[in-house]
Each structure stands twice: as structure tokens, then as C-alpha cells.
């Protein structure tokens, strides 16, 4: 069993011996054969489907991904279909899953695969890592699951699991910690079944070796775990810094002209780049004359349209990354403004379901329909 590791260089850490590694591999694979959850992406080794699942699962719960995964593969059954799609179609399929950059980068990567690799997903991990939106972890997961390539993985669940299996007491997010854990991940890999083994590691980290109250009595490697032996589960891994949330006040206007409402496409660098939104902007006050004047001015600055503010429609509280946002939504009447701009669209409310909207705009659209 490895002794607790402090921040010595990787070569000097008490990385485990061969017998310990063999026992871990055997127990973990046997446990996974019996306890693996039946998830849709575990029924395929198609690299495209594995890729879709891996990207969707980044920062997103399994339960949220299942429906999106099925619908996405139905809409774009293969790489060529994804590459040929319009970005708006891709974003519409991704709507509600968040982190829309993932969808845009997948779409770009599909086009690269078609242009440079004849539509075949590349097998070489280095080439996979060269695709937009794919880092070392995702490349390793795809190559190991699709082709059993001997590629290690390191993501949130395995960072925690490896830290505990090594009793690593320093910060695993720092470069020293990352080096140690990547080295350990490579040592852990068996000669074969690397795909199943990597999935078993993630499953154990997600279902048993949880951040709080890990289920050590049900853990297949409990007898091999130095953190359990030392009772240090609450101290390893070192807790990450707590997120400091920032309160924001914003307004969104449903600007009406005849039977249509105004939408604006978020530009590059904005929170929901590529998605459509009702005109939205930060404000200083949620009501009163100052609010009205500010909302009218900001709408003109953002869209070039002159409007008269109407009734309060709803107020939505939501969170985006480290922001807690109160969104005050009002009706507004269009007065005048320059004709068409590429980033603006007048849409009948009944057609809003064909357009990729961010989550709060979708909520507002449901009030309108
Ligand atoms: S014994 Fe407990 S702390 Fe150790 S790997 Fe298993 S669940 Fe995690």
C-alpha cells in the first residue's frame, strides 16, 4: 500500500508496487462487471458516439445527459451529418445543456474530421487532441473506450479517487499534483481492457468514492486504500477554493412589432455566443423611473431600436457560473429603428421553438406562447 504522499517530485513519491497495482486492477474490473450502470453510451464503441457522450458529460450530470445524447445522435447520426449541419441546428439540439462552447467546438471538430481525415474519427491520441475542444482527458477516454488504447485519464472523479488511493495530501490541481496523478493513472492501466478499466475508475469515483461521505464499506479497493486506513477521507483531496458568487441585476425586454418579437444573437465572447436572446443588459435598479430610462437607453445602444417600456412580465432568478442573476423582464413596444441587422431577428412567438435560445429566454418564450 502506498504511504501518504507529500509534494516531493513524482519520482520520489511513494507510488505503489506491482502487486498492489495488480490487485487494484483485478478488484476494480470485477466490481465494474457486476455494478456498472446501464448507460446508453456503454452499448457502443463507435468513437463518434463516445465523443458525443464525453463532451456532454463534461460539467454535466449523467441524468441530464441521457436524453440529450439520444436526441443529438438522432439528429446527427454520424460525423458527416454533424459537419454538414448549420451551427444553429447544433445549438438548438444542445439548448438547455449549457456550456454552449462545447457544441460549437464539436461542430468545428466534425468539419475538421471531414476535411482532413475523410470523415473517419482519427485513432491517434495526439491527432485527437489536436481537434477543437478535445484535451488530454477526452482524447484518452475516446481512444481507450473505442479502441482499448492504453491511454490514462484524469478528470474530476478520478482526481479524487487517485488522490485517495495515493493518500496525496497536497493540492491535486497544481502542476505538481497533476504530474503525480497522471503518472499514477498511467501506471494503473492494465495491459488490456483499458476502456472498461477507465470507465470503472470513473464509476468508482462517481458512485462510491464521492466527495463527501465516500461509501468505503462498499468499495472494492477498501483494503488497498491508504486514505481509508488512515481515516483521512475528509481531508483528501485538499478541498478546492470555495466559489465566491457575485450578484447581478439584469433586464430583458420582449420588444413587439406587429405580431413579432425581437431577438438578438449573442456575439463572440458573450455569455451565450451563437445563441439567441431577448435584448438583455445589466441595470442598476429593478424598477422606477430610473429603470425605465436606463432600459430604453440600453436597448437603443444594444440593438439600435427605439422602444417604449410596457408591463412587467416576470422576474427570473438563475445562476451562470459564478454569477447569481436576477433578470427583470418587461414588455416593450417598438417605435422605430434601422432596418435589418445580421444579429437581429423579428420572430413570431409561435416560431421561437425553432431557434436556439438560452434557458431564461426559453422560459420567457413559454410565457409568450
Ligand atoms: S476506500 Fe473509501 S476513500 Fe478509499 S477509494 Fe474506496 S471509497 Fe475512496
Whole-model pTM over 0.95: no
Could you tell me the distance, in angstroms and rounded to a whole number, from the CA of residue 162 to the centre of ligand 1?
10
- In tens, the pLDDT along 237-275 reads 998 788 899 999 999 999 999 999 999 999 998 999 999
Cβ atoms within 10 Å, residue 271: 14
Q: At what angle do helices 87-94 and 62-75 cross, to 10 degrees?
A: 150
- The confidence band for 210, taking pLDDT boundaries of 50, 70 and 90, is very high
What distance in Å separates the CA atoms of residue 301 and residue 289, rounded to the nearest whole number?
Answer: 18
> Which residues, judged by CB distance below 6 Å to any ligand atom, belong to the binding site of ligand 1?
161, 164-165, 208-209, 214-216, 219, 221-222, 225, 227-228, 233
Catalytic residue status for 246:
no
Strands 260-265 and 344-347: antiparallel
Helices (H), the chain: 18-35, 47-57, 62-75, 79-84, 87-94, 101-117, 125-129, 136-147, 156-166, 175-188, 194-207, 226-230, 288-303, 359-368
Write the CB contacts of 15 (distance below 8 Å, at least 6 apart in sequence): 2, 166, 183, 184, 187
Catalogue all structural domains in the chain, each as residue range(s) with its CATH number: 10-230 (1.10.340.30), 246-368 (3.90.79.10)
Measured in Å, residue 36 CA sits from the centre of ligand 1 at 17
Centroid of chain to Cα 48: 17
Q: Which of 35, 217, 228, 236 to mutate to test the pocket of ligand 1 (most atoms within 8 A of CB)?
A: 228
- Dmax (CA) for the chain in angstroms is 77
Q: Whose CA is nearest to atom 1 of ligand 1?
A: 222
Write the DSSP symbol of residue 5. Answer: B
Residue range 89-122, pLDDT digits in tens:
999 999 999 999 999 999 999 999 999 999 999 9
Give the residue from 110, 90, 102 showing the smallest Cα distance to 356: 90
Average pLDDT value for residue range 159-180: 96
Question: What distance in angstroms lies between residue 213's CA and the mean position of ligand 1's atoms?
Answer: 10
Q: pLDDT, tens digit, for every residue of 321-350?
A: 899 999 999 999 999 998 778 999 999 999
Of 54, 151, 250, 294, the active-site residue reads: 54
For a pLDDT cut of 70, what percent of the chain falls above it?
Answer: 96
**Higher pLDDT residue, 238 or 78?**
78
Amino acid at each position: 500500500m502506498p504511504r501518504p504522499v507529500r509534494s516531493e517530485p513524482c519520482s520520489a513519491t511513494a507510488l505503489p508496487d506491482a502487486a498492489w497495482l495488480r490487485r487494484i486492477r483485478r478488484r476494480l474490473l470485477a466490481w465494474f462487471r457486476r455494478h456498472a450502470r446501464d448507460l446508453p453510451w456503454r452499448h457502443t464503441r463507435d468513437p463518434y458516439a463516445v465523443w458525443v457522450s464525453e463532451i456532454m458529460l463534461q460539467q454535466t450530470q449523467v441524468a441530464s445527459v441521457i436524453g440529450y445524447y439520444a436526441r443529438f445522435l438522432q439528429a446527427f447520426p454520424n460525423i458527416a451529418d454533424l459537419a454538414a449541419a448549420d451551427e444553429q441546428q447544433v445549438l438548438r439540439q444542445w439548448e438547455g445543456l449549457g456550456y454552449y462552447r462545447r457544441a460549437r467546438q464539436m461542430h468545428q471538430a466534425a468539419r475538421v474530421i471531414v476535411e482532413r481525415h475523410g470523415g473517419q474519427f482519427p485513432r491517434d491520441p495526439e491527432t485527437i487532441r489536436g481537434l477543437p475542444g478535445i484535451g488530454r482527458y477526452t482524447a484518452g477516454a475516446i481512444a481507450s473506450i473505442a479502441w482499448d488504447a492504453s491511454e490514462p485519464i484524469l478528470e474530476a472523479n478520478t482526481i479524487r479517487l487517485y488522490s485517495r488511493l495515493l493518500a496525496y495530501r497536497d493540492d491535486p490541481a497544481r502542476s505538481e499534483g497533476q504530474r503525480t496523478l497522471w503518472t499514477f493513472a498511467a501506471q494503473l492501466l492494465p495491459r488490456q481492457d483499458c476502456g472498461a478499466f477507465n470507465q470503472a475508475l470513473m464509476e468508482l469515483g462517481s458512485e462510491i468514492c464521492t466527495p463527501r461521505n465516500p461509501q468505503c464499506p462498499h468499495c472494492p479497493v477498501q483494503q488497498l486504500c491508504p486514505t481509508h486506513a488512515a481515516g483521512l477521507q475528509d481531508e483528501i483531496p485538499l478541498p478546492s477554493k470555495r466559489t465566491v458568487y457575485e450578484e447581478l441585476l439584469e433586464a430583458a425586454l420582449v420588444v413587439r412589432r406587429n405580431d413579432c418579437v425581437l431577438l438578438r444573437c449573442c456575439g463572440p465572447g458573450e455569455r451565450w455566443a451563437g445563441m439567441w436572446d431577448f435584448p438583455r443588459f445589466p441595470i442598476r435598479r429593478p424598477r422606477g423611473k430610473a429603470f425605465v430610462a436606463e432600459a430604453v437607453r440600453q436597448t437603443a445602444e444594444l440593438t439600435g431600436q427605439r422602444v417604449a417600456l410596457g408591463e412587467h412580465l416576470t422576474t427570473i432568478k438563475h445562476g451562470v457560473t459564478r454569477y447569481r442573476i436576477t433578470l427583470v423582464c418587461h414588455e416593450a413596444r417598438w417605435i422605430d429603428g434601422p432596418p435589418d441587422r445580421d444579429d437581429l431577428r423579428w420572430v413570431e412567438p409561435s416560431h421561437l421553438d425553432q431557434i436556439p435560445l438560452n434557458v431564461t429566454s426559453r422560459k420567457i418564450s413559454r410565457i409568450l406562447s
